[in-house]
Chain A
């Protein structure tokens, strides 16, 4: 073999990651046998825990709570330094002092989804019945299951109605599920770069990622934790493939073109000659430092199963009939994972339900990931939507 390098091994030890699984460095809500989580698959999960972060204070009439729902590989560390990677919070562009979601104004909650690996119960957690890591014995979870767990969390936090539920991608799916399942508990909903159902193409990409994980000999049919190893090569490949879908042709071309990585000429090998290859390998290897392979399987599966219309006799508008929640739907022109057409279908259904909805498509070449990046028009729209809803809700803040 000439110049073949596999994806590099992780620099952060598996211990850092696995410690967060059961003992997260954030708040944790424990739910005992008296409060099982009723899953769509028919199983009552108990006991379980939800790891979460809060920012700001709940006001006296408990009307300023905002729930942020994270995307596939996100977590509760939305606006603080990540305990494993040491990087800034994943949505500090939107959340923080002077940002559209300012903790001086709102009580902001973000929890790790059920099935995740940053402190909420998931396949990487210890199964109390066996004393061993759950692995594939963990029940398959759905987006509605995630939302049900979040509803139990906000009950625990003493919040009845959320002023806003906000999220992008898989987070946006949770936002929509919140409005469909608990319309009275959601005053306003900001659903970004998402869809009411996962498309065949998106299911196909997820299946590719899962097969990459399962093809890694270190996966051991999901029981790798018992062997003290992690299928980081398979998970890295899954992440590399997925990462391409988060970008766009134009963004990749602008960022990398055909430029070479630290060399002038091709090496005539399978080394990472091109910058784009080197970038993807880095994305893959840094991801496996902080994410559990089985959790990736479960969460992608949850997205695949998501279909709000399917849960309402095939008619999407029925899911939102009579809803009083104020909606803001945002899509990005170059997002081919959750294209504008998906948002438009949602908006049509909301119109058919006479819901109050704003819908903006934002022009950018940065693809699906645009919702996490510095896109001023997106912030202006988010800020105006939240302020207008706040005004209607009677929230006052120092920015008014």
Chain B
């Protein structure tokens, strides 16, 4: 499967975003109102609060105790947990959507996590930083060191992100485990969707992050 087969979203512009992050608005747009959602790695609960305003029953898992407690103090249904170890506790089909926002690269077993997302949820929404982004490539090619950006400022030795991938890599993983890609979007440096239907290698070069709406493929 290639990105060309997947329709880009009629997305939101950065100007519409207000207090919310552009990638969160994009994710929220992919979720049907009234559905039940699990946000894995929900941080301070900003996305869950955005979903709540759209009448979505949102739950969250967050690794850091501080993040969890801030979420719970906002009245959100969030539990402390680890995407790698705690997703197994959820039953099949428990949610309409399971969201993994900017967390896949920090998991120990991205493939197992992805499989679990689509076991627990009928659909999954996954966003991650694209390591094929031209600035990443340039830093490695010209600078000769591991890339660092505004969004990923940590050094190689203290980063929590242990499984970086490119948009191309991710598409190949989805193909390998039989995941169907319903919608795909690449965001530029400013979180704006790349509006044009471009060949995937352009997205892989100019997308700073990828956002994918996935469902179970045939045979799953």
What is the interface of chain A, defined by CB distance below 8 A to chain B?
Answer: 326, 328-329, 344, 347-348, 351-352, 354, 356-363, 377, 380-381, 384-385, 387-389, 391
**Cα distance, A348 to B68, chains bound together (Å):** 16
Task: Write out the residue numbers on chain A whose beta carbons fall within 8 Å of the beta carbon of B72.
Answer: 328, 358-360, 381, 384-385
> Residue on A with the closest CB to B91?
A352
Please tell me which stretch of B73-81, B130-138, B157-165, B174-182 contacts chain A, meaning at least 4 of its Cβ atoms lie within 8 angstroms of it: B73-81
Task: Write out the residue numbers on chain A whose beta carbons fall within 8 Å of the beta carbon of B94.
Answer: 351, 354
Which of B57, B71, B77, B91 has most chain A Cβ within 10 Å? B77
Q: How far is the CB of A345 from chain B (nearest CB, A)?
A: 10
List 7 other contacts, CB 8 Å, given A359-B72, A361-B80, A377-B73. Answer: A351-B89, A357-B59, A358-B71, A358-B72, A363-B65, A381-B72, A385-B72
**Cα distance, A354 to B80, chains bound together (Å):** 16
Interface pair B75/A384, CB less than 8 Å apart: yes
Q: How far is the CB of B201 from chain A (nearest CB, A)?
A: 40
Which of B57, B71, B73, B81 has most chain A Cβ within 10 Å? B73
Task: Write out the residue numbers on chain A whose beta carbons fall within 8 Å of the beta carbon of B79.
Answer: 329, 347, 351, 357-359
Total residues of chain B contacting the partner, CB 8 A = 21
Interface pair A356/B59, CB less than 8 Å apart: yes
Task: Write out the residue numbers on chain B whose beta carbons fall within 8 Å of the beta carbon of A352.
Answer: 89-91
Interface pair B90/A385, CB less than 8 Å apart: no
**Cα distance, A356 to B75, chains bound together (Å):** 12
5 closest pairs, A vs B, by CB?
A: A388-B75, A359-B79, A348-B89, A358-B72, A384-B75
> Residue on B with the closest CB to A383?
B73
For the complex, is B86 an interface residue (Cβ under 8 Å from A)?
Answer: yes
Name B89-136 residues within 8 Å CB distance of A: 89-91, 94
**Cα distance, A385 to B69, chains bound together (Å):** 11
- Per-position binary interface string of chain B over residues 33-72, scored 1 when its CB falls under 8 Å from any chain A CB and 0 otherwise: 0000000000000000000000001010000010011011
Picked from B68, B74, B75, B91, the residue with its CB within 8 Å of the CB of A359 is B68
Task: Write out the residue numbers on chain A whose beta carbons fall within 8 Å of the beta carbon of B73.
Answer: 377, 380-381, 384
Interface pair A384/B90, CB less than 8 Å apart: no
**Cα distance, A363 to B64, chains bound together (Å):** 12
Q: How far is the CB of B182 from chain A (nearest CB, A)?
A: 24
**Cα distance, A381 to B77, chains bound together (Å):** 11
Task: Write out the residue numbers on chain B whose beta carbons fall within 8 Å of the beta carbon of A328.
Answer: 72
Picked from A356, A362, A377, the residue with its CB within 8 Å of the CB of B77 is A356
**Cα distance, A347 to B91, chains bound together (Å):** 13
Interface pair A358/B78, CB less than 8 Å apart: yes
Task: Write out the residue numbers on chain A whose beta carbons fall within 8 Å of the beta carbon of B71.
Answer: 358
Task: Write out the residue numbers on chain A whose beta carbons fall within 8 Å of the beta carbon of B57.
Answer: 356
**Cα distance, A388 to B65, chains bound together (Å):** 20
Which of A326, A328, A359 has most chain B Cβ within 10 Å? A359
Interface pair B69/A387, CB less than 8 Å apart: no
Task: Write out the residue numbers on chain A whose beta carbons fall within 8 Å of the beta carbon of B89.
Answer: 348, 351-352
> Residue on A with the closest CB to B59?
A356
**Cα distance, A348 to B90, chains bound together (Å):** 8
Interface pair B75/A385, CB less than 8 Å apart: yes
> Residue on B with the closest CB to A359?
B79
Picked from A326, A360, A377, A384, the residue with its CB within 8 Å of the CB of B80 is A360
Interface pair A351/B90, CB less than 8 Å apart: yes
Interface pair A358/B77, CB less than 8 Å apart: yes
Q: How far is the CB of A140 from chain B (nearest CB, A)?
A: 34
Task: Write out the residue numbers on chain B whose beta carbons fall within 8 Å of the beta carbon of A360.
Answer: 65, 68-69, 72, 80
> Residue on B with the closest CB to A347?
B79
Q: How far is the CB of A309 from chain B (nearest CB, A)?
A: 15
**Cα distance, A379 to B92, chains bound together (Å):** 35
Task: Write out the residue numbers on chain A whose beta carbons fall within 8 Å of the beta carbon of B75.
Answer: 384-385, 387-389, 391
**Cα distance, A358 to B77, chains bound together (Å):** 4
> Residue on B with the closest CB to A362?
B69
Task: Write out the residue numbers on chain B whose beta carbons fall within 8 Å of the beta carbon of A359.
Answer: 68, 72, 78-80
**Cα distance, A352 to B91, chains bound together (Å):** 5
> What are 10 of the A-B contact pairs (CB < 8 Å)?
A328-B72, A351-B79, A351-B86, A352-B89, A360-B65, A360-B69, A361-B65, A387-B75, A388-B76, A389-B75
Q: How far is the CB of B80 from chain A (nearest CB, A)?
A: 6
**Cα distance, A358 to B89, chains bound together (Å):** 15
Task: Write out the residue numbers on chain B whose beta carbons fall within 8 Å of the beta carbon of A381.
Answer: 69, 72-73
Task: Write out the residue numbers on chain B whose beta carbons fall within 8 Å of the beta carbon of A387.
Answer: 75
Interface pair A348/B74, CB less than 8 Å apart: no
Task: Write out the residue numbers on chain B whose beta carbons fall within 8 Å of the beta carbon of A388.
Answer: 74-76
